Amino acid sequence: MRILLLGVLLLPSLLNAQPLQNWVEEKIKHPVLRGAIWAGIAVPSQQNQGPLFALQDSTRLTPASTLKLLTTAAALETLGPHYRFETNLYMKGTPDGNGVLNGELYLQGGGDMTLGSTRVVGAETWQAVAKRWANSVKQAGVRQINGDLIADVSLFEGPTIAPKVNWENMGNYFAAPASPLCFNDNLFDIYFKSETHPNRNVLVDHTQPDLPDVHIQSFVITDGKSNKDNAYVYGAPGQYDLKIFGTIPTSAKGFHIKAALPEPALFALQALEQALNEQGISVNGQVKTSSQSPDYSAMQRLDKYLSPELKDIIFIVNKRSFNLYADMLLRQLAVHAGQKGSIENGLNQLKQFLLTRHIAGLNDTVLYDGSGLSRDNLLTPRVLVAVLNYMTQSPYFEYYYNSLATPNDRGDLLVLRRYLKSKKKIEDVRVKGGTIDNVKAIAGYVRAENGQLISFVLMANNLAGKDEALFRIHEDIIKELLMTK
């Protein structure tokens, strides 16, 4: 087993580290950080070398989405890069000579977070998946179903979203509920009616896909001075009455935002029912979910749908910072250990991963999810830099490294992108960013001039605003690391 001792980070600094330490200390005296907390550390990936600089690196801070570095590392090491998640369609009973099935169809949720999504290479649209399922039913000789369509969601238990997610985020796509039977990233689009005048209430025109059971009240106002989406959907998992507050730009063509599906598993069944009807197969039963797994040995499996490989899923988790996929991977850590896929069980497995690899001590982390969405998550910069260094020794490091964004992918690293493009060294910086209320963090790798790979973490908490001066500070620190000799 590869072990990265936390003590490595406490060794004496390199001979050339002290000037960099002093330089960083001066850099973070900028007014943008007045009243805030800033911590950072940079360590060469080779073991037995001390930090190039380290400031408050043992302080627990909110990591935002840099927490995904822990979740994806644990998933890669636990499951392997080529792991695929499985969704099965079963038929209870057999059709008679007229094609009538007096029994149920079961969709067995396997926790495939990509089911019915095209975010990941190799995945199919939810319409294509539903059509595939319906075709398999038709090929089994079924023309009529006198029974229910049931989603088996027994793989998971407990709350579908982490307990510390705030109310403002809860109904939006970036806080979509987890489900053993995800579908279409557990989201839908809300389209507004066109409104070209500012300070007007704008009404909802339609949703995509159509969700007739969902009722939406819009209190959204048009903003003639901004082109940004500042509208938030308010609604809890399972809640079909939604309210939207905030602002959107004036638009002659209409505008749309993404919201969380109230019950993803039911939507998957409704899509299947529609696809069956399109194949001429009638359903005389209900669509419903079940938290009890039936005896599948007495049923016929009609379809086994496999997800893309884990390495491709992790690419989306880190490069696109997709919360749902990260929190689903957390639950899958528990499933792999033979437990129910709850948040609590997943966090316990993640904690064990960090402890047994000597990446984190008992008090280095306080975690509530696997995505970093909660403001209450806490960890030290040393933990993040330790997992980055640990993964450099992993046989799966290439997948991990390539899942991180380059400055070309990160819009807030504008100056750094221009700096590196002229040198044709965009690939020499790989980062995972994190942003939530009053928090900005960035962590990743730098390939220095001397060819050495450096792991770094820069974290700011309790910021007063969105002053982009902090981006420039972080860019300047990364530049200094790039010039390490």
How far apart are the C-alpha atoms of 73 and 342, rounded to whole Å? Answer: 19
For residue 250, pLDDT over 60 is answered with: yes
Tell whether 198 is covered by a domain.
yes
405-442 confidence digits (pLDDT tens): 999 999 889 999 999 999 999 999 999 999 999 999 99
List pLDDT tens digits, range 141-194: 999 999 999 999 999 999 999 999 999 999 999 999 999 999 999 999 999 999
Strands 100-101 and 144-145: parallel
Residue 255 has pLDDT above 50, yes or no: yes
239 and 154, same structural domain?
yes
Residues 119 and 198 in one domain: yes
Q: 397 and 297 in one domain?
A: no
Residues 454/52, Cβ–Cβ less than 8 Å: yes
Domain match, 230 and 135 both: yes
CA distance 88 to 9: 47
Amino acid at 204: V
Domain harbouring 336, CATH code: 3.40.710.10
Among 275, 308, 341, identify where a domain stops: 308
**Would you tell me how many other CB atoms lie within 10 Å of the CB of residue 116?**
25
Q: Does residue 252 register a pLDDT over 90?
A: no
327 and 403, same domain (yes or no): yes
Do 126 and 254 lie in a common domain? yes
Residue 1 within a domain: no
Q: Tell me, yes or no, whether 69 and 117 share the same domain.
A: no
- Residues 318 and 448 occupy one common structural domain: yes
- The predicted-structure confidence for 82-91, as pLDDT tens digits, reads as follows 999 999 999 9
pLDDT for 2 beyond 90: no
As a whole number, the mean pLDDT across the chain is 94
| Domain with 466 in it | 6-81+311-482
pTM for the model: 0.94
Decide which of 298 and 5 is more confident. 298
pLDDT tier, 485 (very low <50, low <70, confident <90, very high otherwise): confident
The answer as to whether 369 is a domain residue is yes
- Helix orientation angle between 310-319 and 68-79, rounded to the nearest 10 degrees: 170
The answer to whether residue 342 is domain-embedded is yes
Please indicate, yes or no, whether residues 409 and 469 belong to a single structural domain of this protein. Answer: yes
Selection from 127, 379, 167, 371 nearest residue 260 by Cα: 167
Is 245 inside a domain boundary? yes
pLDDT, one tens digit per residue, over 12-61 is 334 456 799 999 999 999 999 999 999 999 999 876 778 999 999 999 99
Q: Does some domain include residue 315?
A: yes
Q: Is pLDDT above 70 for 353? A: yes
CB 89 within 8 A of CB 136: yes
Sheet holding 204-208, edge to edge: 204-208, 187-192, 255-260
Q: Residues near 451 by Cβ (< 8 Å), separated by ≥ 6?
A: none
CATH of the domain at 252: 3.50.80.20
Last residue of a domain, one of 308, 333, 350: 308
| Final residue before a domain boundary, out of 277, 293, 308 | 308
pLDDT of residue 311: 98
Q: Is residue 64 part of a domain?
A: yes
* Structure token pair of residue 331: 């639950």
Question: What is the SS3 string spanning the chain?
Answer: CCCCCHHHHHCCCCCCHHHHHHHHHHHCCCHHHCCCEEEEEEEECCCCCCCCEEECCCCCECCHHHHHHHHHHHHHHHHCCCCCCEEEEEECCCCCCCCEECCCEEEECCCCCCCCCCCCCCCCCHHHHHHHHHHHHHHCCCCEECCCEEEECCCCCCCCCCCCCCHHHHCEHHHCCCCCCCCHHHEEEEEECCECCCCCECCEEEEECCCCCCEEEEEEEEECCCCCCEEEEECCCCCCEEEEEEEEECECCCEEEEEECCCHHHHHHHHHHHHHHHCCCEECCCEEEECCCCCHHHCEEEEEEECCCHHHHHHHHHHCCCHHHHHHHHHHHHHHCCCCCCHHHHHHHHHHHHHHCCCCCCCCEECCCCCCCCCCCEECHHHHHHHHHHHCCCCCHHHHHHCCECCCCCCCCHHHHHHHHCCCCHHHEEEEEEEECCEEEEEEEEECCCCCEEEEEEEEECCCCCCCHHHHHHHHHHHHHHCCC
How would you class 396 by CB atoms within 10 Å of its CB: exposed for 0-12, middle for 13-18, buried for 19 or more?
A: middle
Largest CA distance in the chain: 84
Residue 3 pLDDT > 80, yes or no?
no
Q: In 3D, which of 345, 309, 311 has the Cα closest to residue 327?
A: 345
- Cβ atoms within 10 A of the Cβ of 6, count? 16
User: Does position 200 have pLDDT exceeding 90, yes or no?
Assistant: yes
Do 430 and 393 belong to one domain? Answer: yes
Please check whether residues 182 and 256 belong to one and the same domain.
Answer: yes
Decide if 271 contacts 183 (C-beta within 8 A).
yes
Say if residue 102 is in the same domain as residue 66: no
The pLDDT, as a whole number, for residue 314 is 98
Domain count, the chain: 2
Instruction: Tell me the C-alpha distance between 80 and 395, whole Å.
Output: 10
Give domain status of residue 327, yes or no: yes
Q: What distance in Å separates the CA atoms of residue 326 and residue 306, rounded to the nearest whole number?
A: 18
pLDDT of residue 258: 97
